[in-house]
């Protein structure tokens, strides 16, 4: 059995082609592999698990049905929330037949551990973003936000996205990238495993020298600017693959 990793699909009603591509991937490459991990930002926005049953927005229900079909066919699925869909919860995971993963999560394999993360927590040079990240992940903030009516949450999220896009235009890509210092601290905390993450939309394979040991950092590709890509782990080896 192979293990596949993807992230940053940013599914929304405005990107139906990406959604169709994802459904084909679930029925094809993912089902053939048997195990799939989605490392954040499956959705462009997620306002709470009650959005699944909103008749006015069928995307959530359609994605859930596709994920459920994958797991009911025998596939193993892990979902790690990202910065866009950090409100994904236990109800969504249960109905999808998936495991909802903490960030980070250490995945033990027969050939050694892999450390899975979304990646935004490692962008420590961007202090404003890290402050916002701490705020929206606070349990008190989360509880208060989810108590609001869904339509109100939708309006608030639209305003936050607009504000975020405005702020990002004034930031360099280097400021919004992960830092070596944060990465090395995380790797040391988990015993220097290979790290796989998304978030930055800058797919690459990096090597770091940490305490005399060479460690790899695999950055997953987003699906918003190209046909999409996944990383495969098979027999102790990682490799990149473009979608058919």
Annotated binding site for substrate: 83-84, 126, 164, 168, 171, 199
Q: In terms of C-beta density within 10 A (0-12 exposed, 13-18 middle, 19 or more buried), how is residue 211 classed?
A: exposed
- How far from 179 is each of 116, 174, 184, CA to CA, in Å? 16, 9, 9
Residue 96's φ and ψ, nearest 5 degrees, are: -85, -15
- Known binding site for Mn(2+): residues? 8, 10, 41, 83, 118, 199, 201
In degrees, to the nearest 5, what angle opens at C-alpha 113 toward C-alphas 108 and 119?
A: 105
- Known binding site: residues? 8, 10, 41, 83-84, 118, 126, 164, 168, 171, 199, 201
Q: What distance in Å separates the CA atoms of residue 214 and residue 184, rounded to the nearest whole number?
A: 11
Question: Residues near 204 by Cβ (< 8 Å), separated by ≥ 6?
Answer: 219
């Amino acid at each position: 059995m192979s293990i596949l990793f993807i992230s940053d699909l940013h599914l929304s009603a405005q990107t139906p082609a990406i959604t169709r591509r994802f459904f084909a991937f679930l029925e094809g490459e993912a089902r053939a592999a048997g195990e799939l991990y989605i490392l954040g930002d499956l959705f462009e926005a997620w306002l709470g698990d009650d959005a699944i049953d909103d008749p006015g927005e069928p995307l959530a229900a359609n994605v859930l049905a596709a994920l459920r079909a994958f797991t009911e066919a025998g596939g193993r699925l892990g979902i790690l929330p990202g910065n866009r869909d950090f409100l994904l919860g236990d109800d969504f995971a249960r109905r999808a037949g998936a495991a909802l993963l903490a960030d980070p999560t250490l995945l033990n394999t027969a050939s050694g551990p892999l450390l899975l993360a979304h990646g935004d927590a490692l962008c420590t040079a961007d202090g404003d973003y890290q402050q916002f990240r701490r705020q929206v992940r606070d349990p008190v903030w989360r509880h208060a936000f989810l108590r609001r009516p869904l339509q109100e949450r939708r309006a608030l999220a639209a305003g936050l996205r607009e504000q975020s896009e405005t702020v990002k235009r004034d930031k360099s890509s280097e400021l919004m990238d992960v830092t070596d210092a944060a990465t090395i601290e995380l790797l040391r905390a988990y015993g220097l495993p290979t790290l796989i993450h998304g978030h930055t939309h800058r797919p690459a394979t990096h090597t770091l020298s940490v305490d005399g040991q060479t460690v790899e950092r695999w950055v997953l590709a987003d699906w918003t600017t190209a046909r999409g890509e996944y990383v495969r782990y098979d027999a102790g080896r990682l490799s990149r693959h473009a979608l058919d």
